[in-house]
Amino acid sequence: MYIHWLDSLCCPHCHGALSVYGGQVSDSGKLNEGGLACGACSRVFPVSEGIARFVADDDPVTEEESWKRSERRKRDEEAAVYDSMFTGYRNAVECQTILRQLRPKSQDRIVEIGAGTGRITAAYAARVKSILAVDFSYDSLRVIAQRLERSPVDLCLVQADASLLPIRTGSFSKAVSAQVLEHLPGSMERANAIGEFSRILRPGGTLVITVYYYSPEKRLRHRRQPSDRTMKEGSHSDGAIYFYNFGYGELKRLLNGHIKVDRMRGILQERPYLERFGRLGMAIERIVQTTPLSLFAAHMLLARAHRGPVDADRSKRAKALVCE
């Protein structure tokens, strides 16, 4: 990591400023191995292969933490083959829809929470000034490093928890998070994450997210023949990864508790013939997304929101309601 990124990073626990602790900074200002120390609480966080690591295994083992550790191990195991789990059609639809809402520009500083192996990151990296890619999986971040090795974008890789971000308040103009929120176990974890997404944005900053959607069609299929693909909540990947399907109103209320929602729509219609149609199917998908029909059989919801000047107070009130 380049040490100029310390202007955007902070201790995830107390939001104190960080400084280099050990290791050798190169003439170009890069730290490959060493640590980052918090000047306020004295915690030290390692830097390995240029990746700043803010995830520890010594946290208390709650049910939520057990799920997180299980997912982290599985994501590390799957990092080398993760991209192959997405068909070209499904990946293209999600990427293109996200980019239409994100509208990346040359001077944008974008943070991607849950960047995984960079399948979304690579789609906009050449269009923006800088990217902070955050993920729970260290091995997935190593894949991003290889993928964007020759990209001119100013890239920083951070291993961190989406609900406890080591990022300074108001540091970024845009944030994106694809298929992350549904894997956070428990309503408090999800509320904390959205609060964090809002906090790190500048006033007026844009957030684009996608999540699993509990569509009317999924509910109907569950009544006829229950399966792990139609459940409201459960696990996949051999039981290692928790998931939660959001209702439309449920997601909107969660977001509006912290940040102002601009639009929501269903994406990736669960109609196999659309994928067989290729580009024609993608064109049909795009048209359907602009209509209420998108909410009947979509696999995911996409939401775009922005941070207003009072969203910090909004987040505090929302967290208080969750605690009650």
CATH assignment of the domain containing 215: 3.40.50.150
133 and 253 both lie in a single domain? yes
138 and 64 both lie in a single domain? yes
280 and 228 both lie in a single domain? yes
Give the range of the structural domain holding residue 294, as residue numbers without chain letter: 54-323
Q: Please give the tally of structural domains in the chain.
A: 2
Provide the whole-model pTM.
Answer: 0.91
Q: Which residues contact 93 (CB under 8 A, 6 or more apart)?
A: 267, 268, 282, 285
Final residue before a domain boundary, out of 17, 35, 50: 50
Q: Rounded to a whole number, what is the largest CA-CA distance in the chain? A: 64
At 62-101, the pLDDT tens digits run: 888 888 889 999 999 999 998 888 878 999 999 999 999 9
At 99-144, the pLDDT tens digits run: 999 999 999 999 999 999 999 999 999 999 999 999 999 999 999 9
Q: Who has greater pLDDT, 258 or 319?
A: 258
Q: What is the mean pLDDT of the chain?
A: 91
3-state secondary structure string across 71-127: HHHHHHHHCCCHHHHCCHHHHHHHHHHHHHHHCCCCCCEEEEECCCCCCCHHHHHHH
pLDDT reported for residue 311: 53
28 and 120 both lie in a single domain? no
Six-digit token string for 122: 């690579």
Q: State the DSSP code for 83.
A: G
207 and 62 both lie in a single domain? yes
Sign, CA torsion 56/61/67/69: positive
69 and 42 both lie in a single domain? no
43 and 66 both lie in a single domain? no
Report the SS3 class of residue 236. Answer: strand
At 3-43, the pLDDT tens digits run: 999 999 999 999 999 999 988 999 999 999 999 999 999 99
CA distance 31 to 44: 15
221 and 80 both lie in a single domain? yes
